[in-house]
Amino acid sequence: MFVEIKELFFKYKNAKRNTIEDFNIQIKQGEVISIFGKSGSGKSTMLRIISGLEIPDKGYIKIDDKVMVDKEQFIAPENRGVGMVFQDYSLFPHMTVEKNIEFGLKDMKKDEKKKRVEEVLALVDMMEYKKSYPYELSGGQQQRIAIARAVAPRPSILLLDEPFSNLDKDLQESIRAQIKNIIKQCGITCIFVTHDREDCRAMADRIVILKEGIIEEIINKTDL
């Protein structure tokens, strides 16, 4: 399996109960997984653990046959090969679109950076906006740029935190389809969290239903 998460436990300091309890899943390469649940169910915490922003109390995470964390080791977030898009997109307001994307391409030469920026801008159909600033873009356009920035370094896995919650309802359907197409074109493994069943139906191959940090069920989207 491309991603393996086994017997994962996590509790925030001073919390009365585990935020994540005995989380187990295996994910194939190129699969899109949704973690679905209400606010406070532990969804975003799982993304933070996978990305390395939080350290689990127990269990391990393996991505592409490399152990990211277990009882003996911990790989820092910047060395995990994980791309993450936060709920607010976190674009740098003082940078143009192309400079936002270039930011994560630190180990490339100038001409390589330019080529990769153009590749991902073409992927998200935003080439004409490369000199624009984030405030000049719509919410859907900002989201596509955030995804372009996340996939530009060719991460092993892409994590999305409530990817459609900041968009107007009438935009969500078309944007879901666009983002799914981008992810599938990349062939990238993706985990996204949501509280919206329509996100799951539109995007996910499988849905992890999480309640109070515990997996209730893992189902195919056709069973929703």
103-130 per-position pLDDT tens digit: 989 888 889 999 999 999 999 999 999 9
Strand partners, 209: 36, 217
Q: What is the mean pLDDT of the segment spanning 42-51?
A: 96
Residues 135-179 pLDDT 10s: 999 988 998 999 999 999 999 999 999 988 877 777 788 888 888
The rounded percent of the chain whose pLDDT value lies above 70 is: 100
| CA distance linking residue 135 with residue 117, whole number of Å | 20
Res 90 pLDDT > 90: no
What's the confidence (pLDDT) of residue 139?
87
Question: What integer pLDDT is reported at residue 106 of this predicted model?
Answer: 83
Query: Listing from the earlier edge strand, what are the strands of the sheet with 214-220?
Result: 82-85, 157-161, 189-194, 32-36, 206-211, 214-220
Q: Which two tokens stand for residue 64?
A: 């592409």
Q: What is the pLDDT of residue 100?
A: 95
Q: Please, which residues have CB within 8 angstroms of residue 181's CB and are 6 or more apart in sequence?
A: none
Angstrom distance (rounded) from CA 163 to CA 1: 25
Residue that is written with structure tokens 């719509």 in the block: 138
Question: Per 3-state DSSP, what percentage of the chain is helix, strand, and coil (rounded to 5)?
Answer: 35, 25, 40
Helices (H) and strands (E) in the chain, counts: 6, 10
Which strand ranges, in their side-by-side order, compose the sheet holding 3-10? 20-27, 3-10, 58-63, 66-69
Tell me the C-alpha distance between 148 and 100, whole Å: 9
Residue 94 has a pLDDT of: 96
Q: How remote is the C-alpha of 80 from its chain's centroid?
A: 13
pLDDT per residue as tens digits for the range 92-104: 999 999 999 999 8
Q: Can you give the pLDDT at residue 224?
A: 64
The Cα 81–Cα 54 span in angstroms is 16
DSSP state for residue 160 in the 8-state scheme: E
CA distance 84 to 151: 9
Distance of CA 179 to the CA centre of its chain: 12
